[in-house]
Amino acid sequence: MSEIIIENLSKSFISKDGTIEALKNISLSIEKGDIYGIIGMSGAGKSTLVRCINFLEEPTAGRVLIEGKSLGDFSKRELQKKREDIGMIFQHFNLLMQKSVLENVCFPLYIQKKSRKEAKEKALELLDLVGLSDKKNAYPAQLSGGQKQRVAIARALASTPKILLCDEATSALDPQTTSSILELLKDINQRFGITIVIITHQMSVVREICSHVAIMQTGEVVETGLVTEVFSHPRSKVAKELIYKDSDAETEMFITEDRIRHGEMIRIIFSENSAFEPVIANLVLTFQEPVNILKAFTKNVGGVAKGEMILEFKKDSTRKEEIKAYLKEHGIEIEEVTEDVDA
């Protein structure tokens, strides 16, 4: 069942230079209990989109439906109540610097008119969940970035939300801390069944935690699908750029020094079975014809190792179709590469 449905959503802003179309006719469906990634370069409109999901930004056109009900039909009081079901964490944590860790987590509970005793008990449970019981009396300035984000997650969970929106929640963190925060979010998703929407510009975040992804460019969604499918068969140019430039690969990309760059290029994807065979070496021995390896890398996509290479044939090769057939026979998926392959 779809918990979040976005229908033909648009958002415009009026500036001194004219009208800016931040979002253009976006439609998405996010299933209950999913971890859904929304990714794009800077200026793609992803943060505006996530703020429209909870109506912190009111759309210019279109609808946002949560559990089948349009947020645009709610009164101001009803919308405020509904937002208790939609937690949000931010890139820069947004903690109250003059309040202790415990009081930060209690804050949304006080807004809900919970007693101090009830709020404190709930906050302590949540701090234990995020691994910060020993920091309850500390202040945000005394915490690391990862610890601050854990406090922010605990605070977002205080109202027992059904949906958790994460707006660039890991982009200010180092890779190791990012990984621990993603593990925490994954655990929360599995333990409580909370639907999580992650806004990010980091493809490594999407492939580590998300099951589905929407790729945005200049205010539009240009591609959606299962993360494993999008990584294996990206259709849009921006998806290919994000995947090829994903720097957090288990094996770093490399480019051969003697780049021919005049022959036909193909992208090959190794399956779990073909990854254990010396396919390229056997190909060269079989056809007695060199191929140029422009890029090669492996990545963990949803817990599954994915191997890829960008190969280039000799400019005057007459056996390209035979080589492609050979690769397919050995369980290798093939895609044509028309754009330039950068380092």
Give the neighbor-by-neighbor strand order of the sheet with 195-200.
Answer: 86-90, 163-167, 195-200, 35-40, 212-217, 220-226
Rounded CA gap, 248 and 200, in Å?
Answer: 14
Chain mean pLDDT for the chain: 85
- Rounded to whole angstroms, what are the CA distances from 39 to 32, 182, 201, 203, 322? 20, 16, 5, 7, 38
Q: Which residue has the higher pLDDT, 38 or 202?
A: 38
Q: pTM for this one?
A: 0.76
Q: Provide the token pair at 304.
A: 């599954």
Quickly tell me which residue has 């720097």 as its tokens: 247
Query: What is residue 152's predicted lDDT score, i.e. its pLDDT?
Result: 93
Return the H-helix or E-strand segment holding 86.
strand 86-90
238: helix, coil or strand? helix
Average pLDDT over residues 174-199: 91
CB-count exposure of residue 293 (10 Å: 0-12, 13-18, 19+): middle
Helical ranges in the chain per DSSP H: 46-53, 76-82, 101-111, 116-129, 145-157, 175-192, 203-209, 227-232, 237-244, 279-287, 320-329
What local confidence, expressed as pLDDT, does residue 260 receive? Answer: 44
Helix ranges restricted to H, 138-236: 145-157, 175-192, 203-209, 227-232
Burial class (CB in 10 A: 0-12, 13-18, 19+), 92: middle
pLDDT at 275 over 90: no
H/E segment holding residue 70? strand 69-70
**Whole-angstrom distance, CA of residue 23 vs CA of residue 3:** 21
Q: Which residues lie below 8 Å from residue 111, measured CB to CB, with a gap of 6+? A: none
Beta carbons within 8 Å of 143's beta carbon, 6+ residues apart: 101, 135, 151
Among 100, 78, 70, 81, smallest CA distance to 6 is for: 70
Domains and CATH numbers, the chain: 2-233 (3.40.50.300), 265-337 (3.30.70.260)
Q: Name which of 102-111, 276-285, 328-337 the model is least confident about.
A: 276-285
Q: What is the pLDDT of residue 69?
A: 92
Per-residue pLDDT at 261 exceeds 70 = no
Distance of CA 160 to the CA centre of its chain: 23
- Banded pLDDT at 256 (limits 50, 70, 90): very low
Rounded to whole angstroms, the Cα distance separating 75 from 176 reads 43
- Higher-confidence residue: 250 or 5? 5
On the question of pLDDT at 131 being above 90, the answer is yes
SS3 sequence, 15-36?
Answer: ECCEEEEEEEEEEEEEECCCEE
**DSSP state string for 129-159:** HTT-GGGTT--GGGS-HHHHHHHHHHHHHTT
Q: Rounded to whole angstroms, how far apart are CA atoms 58 and 81? A: 16
Cβ atoms within 10 Å of 7's Cβ, excluding its own: 16
Question: In degrees rounded to 5, what are phi and psi of residue 162?
Answer: -95, -20
